[in-house]
């Protein structure tokens, strides 16, 4: 059945291509694995139910990233999560190649949410400042400012040049 339905086939193909991008944003922006899993599901089911049409593959990628960022914001700044202690939830764990990578990721997770968004899109995913600004709905100089602040905070935390 799955192979016969073109929409499901498209979803499967899209997921195989962008699952790491979407999940990476969710994992970095959110505080626990349950939320990251939920956002992952919501984003792709939104894509499946809306079935947006894109001219280019870049547009599709941007749509998925924007949807993921927005979903994460809903989780982080929604009324429910502002008033709920989520420290008891299982934390996200990943196997890093080195202790330095682990420390860097921990330092990124400590950044304020809006700096973290810019950092992930620009440094981790490799979007340029203009693309990052478009995704976040802010101006390019705002993104530059956030990146500069993030860099400063990371350097202070890690005591090394970034």
Residues that bind other proteins (CB under 8 A): 1-2, 5, 7-8, 11-12, 15, 19-20, 23-24, 27-28, 37, 40-42, 44-46, 48-49, 70, 73-74, 76-80, 82-87, 94-97, 100-101, 104-105, 112-114, 123-126, 137-139, 141-142, 145, 149, 160-162
Quick one: which of 111, 90, 80 has its CA closest to 36?
90
Measured from the CB atom, the residue of 52 and 86 that comes closer to other proteins is 86
- Least distance (Å) between residue 33 CB and other proteins: 10
Measured from the CB atom, the residue of 24 and 62 that comes closer to other proteins is 24
- Least distance (Å) between residue 56 CB and other proteins: 22
Measured from the CB atom, the residue of 78 and 130 that comes closer to other proteins is 78
**CB-CB contact of 46 with 75 (8 Å):** no
**How far is residue 80 from each of residues 75, 104, 125, measured CA to CA in Å?**
8, 30, 29
34 three-state secondary structure: helix
- Least distance (Å) between residue 15 CB and other proteins: 6
Measured from the CB atom, the residue of 59 and 137 that comes closer to other proteins is 137
Q: What's the rounded Cα separation, in Å, for the pair 79 and 63?
A: 25
Instruction: Please identify which residue in the block is written with the tokens 């962008």.
Output: 18
- Least distance (Å) between residue 54 CB and other proteins: 18
Q: Percent helix, strand and coil across the chain, each rounded to 5? A: 75, 0, 25
């Amino acid at each position: 059945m799955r192979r016969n339905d073109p929409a499901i086939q498209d979803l499967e193909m899209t997921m195989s291509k962008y699952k790491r991008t979407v999940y990476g944003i969710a994992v970095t922006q959110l505080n626990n694995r349950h939320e990251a899993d939920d956002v992952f599901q919501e984003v792709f089911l939104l894509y499946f139910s809306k079935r947006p049409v894109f001219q280019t593959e870049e547009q599709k990628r941007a749509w998925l990233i924007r949807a993921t960022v927005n979903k994460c914001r809903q989780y982080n700044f929604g009324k429910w999560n502002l008033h709920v202690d989520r420290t008891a939830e299982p934390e996200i764990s990943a196997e890093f190649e080195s202790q330095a990578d682990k420390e860097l990721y921990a330092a990124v997770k400590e950044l304020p949410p809006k700096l973290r968004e810019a950092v992930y899109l620009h440094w981790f995913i490799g979007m340029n400042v203009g693309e990052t600004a478009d995704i976040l709905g802010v101006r390019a100089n705002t993104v530059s400012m956030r990146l500069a602040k993030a860099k400063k905070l990371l350097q202070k935390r890690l005591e090394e040049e970034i």
